[in-house]
């Protein structure tokens, strides 16, 4: 029987576990809404199928592009303050999305959710990195992604009974509640981690992005991978509509 390498551990500081609980709540909130977002935008808000496709495409694209810059901003503001801002925006955005079924309000709500969500991933992953040493970092990130998957599973699981028993808009209120729970955890338990030696300025982030875009082989790889994600995204964008319209 193989022995564990000396120094390996599953014990991490409080900030690590707090960050993972926050991530679980955030993923539960996000996937609860995202799995039914196209249905909500067409059935409740009044967008056409094509309009909904464009709205969700821009929402998802900006959500994953913006951390290039919001991560740098979080380094300047501090992780704790940035998380408080992020989950305040998320709670407000989800609540607004459920409370008012108008196109303009929905766009404003989705922008608010996008902005808040773009802070979360770089901060939580940064906390995981700073609260684990090099030897235990793989274990730390395995726990982190377990929390991501558990949160995503919970969000999608809760969405079904909420949709059928109460209505689509109540999924947004559920996600707002998850965001408020995460915010409470941040205020009570989360403490800033030492971010010295990490992070970039906004200018450095932009310069790095330019260098990436200029790398032709890497961009070709990105386009190939994007083809897969375009197909996979239809599980959220069109499959729910297809299943319900059969």
> If you average pLDDT over every residue of the chain, what do you get?
90
Percent with pLDDT over 70 in the chain: 95
* In a domain? residue 42: yes
Residues 117 and 26: beta-carbon distance below 8 Å: yes
Residue 164: C-alpha distances to residues 49, 82, 115, 169, 221 (Å): 21, 36, 29, 11, 41
Residues 38 and 166: beta-carbon distance below 8 Å: no
Q: What is the pLDDT of residue 3?
A: 55
CA 145-148-151 angle, 5° bins? 150
* In a domain? residue 21: yes
* Sole residue written with tokens 């395995």: 142
Q: Encode pLDDT of 91-103 as tens digits.
A: 999 999 999 999 9
* In a domain? residue 3: no
Q: What is the pLDDT of residue 199?
A: 62
Residues 128 and 16: beta-carbon distance below 8 Å: yes
Q: Name every residue whose Cβ is closer than 8 Å to that of residue 194 and which is 6 or more positions away in sequence.
A: 130
Whose CA is closest to 123, among 182, 211, 173? 182
CA dist 124 and 205 (Å) reads 18
* In a domain? residue 7: no
Per-residue pLDDT, averaged over 208-219, amounts to: 89
* In a domain? residue 8: no
Residues 127 and 16: beta-carbon distance below 8 Å: yes
Q: What are phi and psi of 155, to 5 degrees?
A: -60, -45
Q: Encode pLDDT of 51-61 as tens digits.
A: 999 999 999 99
Where residue 71 falls among pLDDT bands split at 50, 70, 90?
Answer: confident
Residue 23 belongs to what domain range?
14-245
The most confident of 86-90, 195-199, 229-233, by mean pLDDT: 86-90
* In a domain? residue 46: yes
Residues 135 and 7: beta-carbon distance below 8 Å: yes
Whose CA is closest to 53, among 215, 239, 183? 239
Give the distance from CA 106 to its chain's centroid.
18
CA dist 117 and 95 (Å) reads 14
Where residue 192 falls among pLDDT bands split at 50, 70, 90?
Answer: confident
* In a domain? residue 193: yes
How many separate domains does the chain show? 1
* In a domain? residue 233: yes
Per-residue pLDDT, averaged over 227-231, amounts to: 88
- Domain CATH number, residue 64: 1.20.1250.20
Residues 169 and 40: beta-carbon distance below 8 Å: yes
Other CB atoms closer than 10 Å to residue 88's CB: what's the count?
A: 16
Numbers of helices and strands, H then E, in the chain = 12, 0
> What pTM was estimated for this model as a whole?
0.89
Q: Encode pLDDT of 12-69 as tens digits.
A: 888 999 999 999 999 999 999 999 999 999 999 999 999 999 999 999 999 999 998 8
Q: Name every residue whose Cβ is closer than 8 Å to that of residue 61 and which is 6 or more positions away in sequence.
A: none
Q: What is the pLDDT of residue 1?
A: 43
């Amino acid at each position: 029987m193989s022995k564990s390498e000396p120094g390996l551990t599953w014990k991490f500081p409080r900030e690590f576990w707090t960050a993972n609980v926050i991530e679980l709540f955030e993923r539960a909130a996000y996937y609860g809404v995202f799995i039914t977002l196209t249905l909500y935008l067409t059935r409740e808000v009044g967008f056409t199928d094509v309009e909904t496709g464009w709205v969700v495409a821009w929402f998802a694209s900006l959500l994953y592009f913006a951390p290039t810059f919001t991560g740098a901003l979080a380094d300047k503001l501090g992780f704790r303050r940035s998380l408080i801002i992020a989950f305040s925006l998320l709670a407000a955005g989800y609540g607004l999305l459920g409370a008012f079924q108008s196109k303009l309000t929905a766009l404003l709500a989705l922008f608010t959710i996008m902005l808040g969500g773009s802070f979360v991933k770089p901060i939580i992953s940064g906390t995981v990195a700073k609260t684990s040493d090099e030897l235990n970092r793989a274990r730390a990130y395995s726990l982190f992604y377990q929390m991501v998957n558990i949160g995503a599973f919970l969000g999608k699981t809760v969405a079904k009974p909420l949709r059928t028993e109460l209505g689509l808009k109540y999924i947004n209120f559920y996600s707002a509640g998850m965001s408020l729970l995460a915010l409470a955890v941040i205020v009570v338990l989360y403490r800033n981690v030492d971010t010295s030696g990490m992070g970039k300025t906004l200018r450095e982030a932009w310069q790095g992005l330019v260098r990436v875009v200029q790398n032709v082989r890497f961009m070709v790889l990105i386009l190939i991978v994007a083809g897969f994600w375009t197909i996979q995204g239809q599980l959220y964008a069109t499959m729910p509509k297809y299943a319900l319209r059969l």
